[in-house]
């Protein structure tokens, strides 16, 4: 891997995750992403073949908008990696609804470590630098296979590095383990707690279960981070505000933070800021594209293109998602963070509706 990529990733680990402003970030990203594109072109035969057919090997890229991107669906069709088989330490799979034809993302030790460090930096900006007692609103079964994770398992494994006294509160049948929850709350009475779970599962198997028992907790000052599919909640007219109010009612948690991300770029997630927008960090950037794949202006809805310098062992540094969104601005959000900030409008028509929690079959 080129030295400029390694230097940049090392530099990020020592800086505020939202320190870069537009001009500096664009210059750095153009250099790093150009080198990443060359790295994957030289190291991944499938990527080279695609780039050759597009004629990209002859192009000098002048802006990040001109860099070649891959549709995210290609990771379902091809085994794409830029390292040798014996260097792979972990395989991540997407959370597809069909259970087959899933994206597979191949991580070597360097890539896996980079993702964990990035996730830690981004989340610590919201939760603080101290590891907090952690409730995971899921079951231990989802992280049993340490070398091969689903998107759901990868999310849990990544976030679990941020906590201590980690307690899973759902059993194998997705029933709330009241005994485990009560014991955890007694051990950590009066402390700030970090809660993590996928949106639908938090709502259906945790909050609703507590409501049915008329049992509530007062975890004042704690933080809930959740993400994944909203499809089932929207079908039942559950908005973000309704979700937050339910969490506050049964848990006493007022700081509820949604996140956006995908297994194809694990680590460089986008956390919701205090103003209600998803934010790019130093580890990520976004572009929106219209139906002709031209870059949209801020305020225009388009297809979300996700960019990350972390994808070194596979060519996932520049991918076109199946989500529609709107970039609202850059470096001027009222929350005070630098970087682009945006909202997600939902899935594109005819794309596979998937999300880490949407794909749990339910009952």
187-222 burial, b at 16+ Cβ within 10 Å, e below that, comes to ebeeebbbbbbbbbbbbbbbbebbeeeeeebebeeb
- The residue-averaged pLDDT of 172-185 equals 93
Q: What is the pTM of this model?
A: 0.89
* 204: pLDDT strictly greater than 50: yes
Do residues 44 and 82 lie in contact, with contact meaning Cβ atoms separated by under 8 Å?
yes
Name the pLDDT band for 184 (thresholds 50, 70, 90).
very high
d(CA 31, CA 75): 25
Q: Which of 71-85, 92-106, 243-257, 320-334 has the lowest mean pLDDT?
A: 92-106
Name the pLDDT band for 359 (thresholds 50, 70, 90).
very low
DSSP label at residue 192: -
Q: What is the tens place of the pLDDT at every residue in 105-137?
A: 999 999 999 999 999 999 999 999 899 999 999
For the chain, the average pLDDT equals 87
- The residue-averaged pLDDT of 239-255 equals 90
* 224: pLDDT strictly greater than 60: yes
**Ranges assigned E (strand) in 202-335:** 223-227, 255-260, 270-271, 278-279, 285-289, 301-307, 318-330
**Ranges assigned E (strand) in 189-245:** 194-198, 223-227
* 355: pLDDT strictly greater than 50: no
High-pLDDT (> 70) share of the chain, %: 88
High-pLDDT (> 90) share of the chain, %: 65
Do residues 162 and 134 lie in contact, with contact meaning Cβ atoms separated by under 8 Å?
yes
């Amino acid at each position: 891997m080129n030295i400029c990529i390694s230097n940049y990733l090392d530099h990020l680990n020592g800086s505020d995750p939202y320190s870069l402003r537009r001009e500096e970030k664009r210059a750095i990203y153009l250099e790093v992403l150009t080198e990443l594109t060359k790295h994957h072109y030289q190291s991944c035969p499938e990527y080279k073949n695609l780039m050759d057919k597009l004629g990209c090997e002859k192009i000098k890229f002048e802006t990040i908008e001109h860099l070649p991107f891959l549709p995210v669906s290609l990771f379902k069709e091809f085994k794409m990696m830029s390292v040798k088989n014996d260097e792979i330490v972990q395989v991540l799979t997407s959370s597809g609804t069909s259970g087959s034809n899933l994206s597979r993302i191949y991580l070597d030790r360097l890539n896996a470590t980079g993702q964990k460090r990035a996730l830690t930096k981004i989340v610590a900006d919201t939760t603080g630098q101290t590891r907090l007692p952690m409730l995971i609103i899921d079951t231990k079964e989802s992280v049993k296979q340490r070398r091969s994770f689903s998107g759901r398992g990868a999310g849990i494994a990544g976030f679990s590095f941020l906590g201590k006294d980690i307690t899973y509160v759902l059993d194998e049948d997705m029933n709330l383990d009241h005994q485990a929850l009560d014991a955890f709350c007694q051990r950590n009475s009066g402390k700030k707690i970090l809660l993590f779970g996928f949106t639908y599962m938090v709502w259906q198997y945790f909050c609703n279960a507590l409501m049915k028992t008329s049992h509530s907790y007062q975890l004042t000052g704690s933080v809930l981070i959740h993400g994944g599919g909203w499809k089932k909640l929207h079908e039942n007219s559950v908005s973000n505000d309704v979700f937050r109010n339910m969490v506050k009612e049964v848990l006493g948690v007022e700081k509820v933070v949604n996140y956006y991300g995908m297994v194809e770029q694990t680590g460089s997630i986008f956390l919701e800021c205090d103003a209600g927008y998803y934010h790019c960090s130093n580890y990520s950037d976004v572009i929106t594209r219209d139906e002709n794949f031209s870059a949209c202006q801020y305020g225009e809805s388009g297809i979300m293109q996700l960019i990350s310098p972390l994808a070194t062992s596979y060519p996932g540094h520049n991918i076109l998602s199946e989500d529609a969104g709107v970039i609202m601005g850059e470096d001027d959000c009222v929350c005070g963070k630098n970087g682009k900030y945006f909202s997600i409008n939902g899935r594109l028509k005819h794309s596979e509706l998937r999300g880490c929690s949407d794909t749990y079959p339910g009952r």
